[in-house]
Amino acid sequence: MQSARFLTNSMQNPGISRILNAALEGVDPGKLVQKSLIHLEIAPGNLFALGLGKAAEPMVMALSKTRKLKDALVITKHASGKPRESLKIIEAGHPIPDERSLQAGKAALEFALKVGVSDTLICLISGGGSALACVPVNDLKLAELQNLTSDLIRSGAAISEINTLRRSLDEIKGGGLTRACPGTVISLILSDVLGNSLEAIASGPTVANPTSNKDALSIINKYSIPAPAHIIDYLSHERQDQGYERVIPVRNFIVGDIRTAAEAAQEQARHEGYATQILDLSLRGEARSVGVDLSNKLRQSIQKTNRPFCFIAGGETTVTVKGNGRGGRNQELALAAVTPSADIPGLFFITLATDGEDGPTDAAGAVVTGDSLHRAHRLGMDPEDFLARNDSYSFFDGLGDLLRTGPTGTNVNDLAFVFGL
Those residues whose C-beta lies under 8 Å from the C-beta of residue 73, and which sit 6 or more positions away, are: 49, 50, 51, 87, 88, 90, 107, 108, 111
Determine the average pLDDT of the residues in 350-359: 97
Please give the pLDDT value at position 248: 67
Mean pLDDT value across residues 34-51: 95
- The residues near 177 (Cβ < 8 Å, ≥ 6 apart) are 50, 108, 109, 112, 123, 185, 205, 206
In angstroms, the CA 20 to CA 377 distance is 29
Helix (H, G, I), strand (E, B) or coil at 12: coil
- Residue 411, pLDDT > 60, answer yes
The C-alpha torsion from 402 through 193 and 103 to 253, rounded to 10°, is 130
**Rounded Cα–Cα distance for residues 208 and 226 (Å):** 28
pLDDT reading at 245 higher than 70: no
Given a contact cutoff of 8 angstroms between Cβ atoms, the answer to whether 286 and 318 are in contact is yes
pLDDT at residue number 127: 96
pLDDT value at 244 more than 60: no
Domains of the chain: 14-25+259-420 (3.40.1480.10), 28-256 (3.40.50.10180)
Whether the predicted pLDDT of 146 surpasses 60:
yes
Dist. CA 22–CA 6, nearest whole Å: 12
Least confident of 252-256, 304-308, 322-326, 337-341: 304-308
* Residues 22, 72, 102: CA angle, nearest 5 degrees: 90
Cα 31–181–29 angle (5° rounding)? Answer: 10
Residue 314 has pLDDT above 80, yes or no: yes
How many other CB atoms are there within 10 angstroms of residue 413's CB atom?
A: 27
pLDDT for residue 116: 96
For residue 402, give the nearest of 317, 341, 334, 338 by alpha carbon.
334
From residue 328, alpha-carbon distances to 114, 316, 317 in Å are: 40, 11, 10
Decide if 199 contacts 250 (C-beta within 8 A): no
Residue 242 reports pLDDT greater than 60: no
* pLDDT tens figures, 97-140: 999 999 999 999 999 999 999 999 999 999 999 999 999 998 89
pLDDT at 240: 67
Residues of the chain with pLDDT > 70, as a percent, come to: 97
Mean pLDDT calculated for residue range 1-24: 87
Reported as a pLDDT band with limits 50, 70 and 90, residue 168 is: very high
Mean pLDDT of the chain, nearest integer: 94
Residue 90 phi/psi, 5° resolution? -120, 125
Helix and strand numbers, DSSP H then E, in the chain: 16, 12
CA-based nearest residue to 261, from 37, 22, 16, 15: 22
* Bridge partners for 72 per DSSP: 49
Q: What Rg, from alpha-carbon coordinates, does the chain have?
A: 22
Q: Which of 6-15, 85-94, 105-114, 182-191 has the lowest mean pLDDT?
A: 6-15
Rounded CA gap, 129 and 154, in Å?
A: 19
Cis amide prior to 136 (ω within 30 degrees): no
Name, in order, each residue with C-beta under 8 angstroms of 389's C-beta and a sequence gap of 6 or more. 323, 324, 325
The pLDDT of 19-47, averaged and rounded, is 96
Q: Which phi and psi (to 5°) does residue 347 adopt?
A: -90, 135
Concatenate the DSSP letters of all residues of 33-77 into one string.
HHHHHTT----SS-EEEEEESTTHHHHHHHHHHHS--SEEEEEES
Residues 6+ apart with CB under 8 A from 66: 34, 37
When pLDDT is cut at 50, 70 and 90, the band that residue 7 belongs to is confident
Q: At residue 143, does pLDDT exceed 70?
A: yes
What is the pLDDT, as a whole number, of residue 246? 58
Q: What is the mean pLDDT of residues 277-300?
A: 92
Q: Which strands make up the sheet holding 71-76, listed edge to edge?
A: 88-91, 71-76, 47-52, 120-125, 184-190, 251-256
Give CA–CA dist 323/387, Å, rounded.
Answer: 9
List, for residues 13-29, the tens digit of each pLDDT value.
Answer: 999 999 999 999 999 99
pTM across the whole model = 0.94
Gap between the Cα atoms of 262 and 23, Å rounded: 6
Find the mean pLDDT for residues 405-412.
95
42 vs 420: CA distance, rounded Å = 48
Residue 378 CB burial class (10 angstroms; 0-12, 13-18, ≥19): exposed
- Average pLDDT, integer, range 161-182: 96
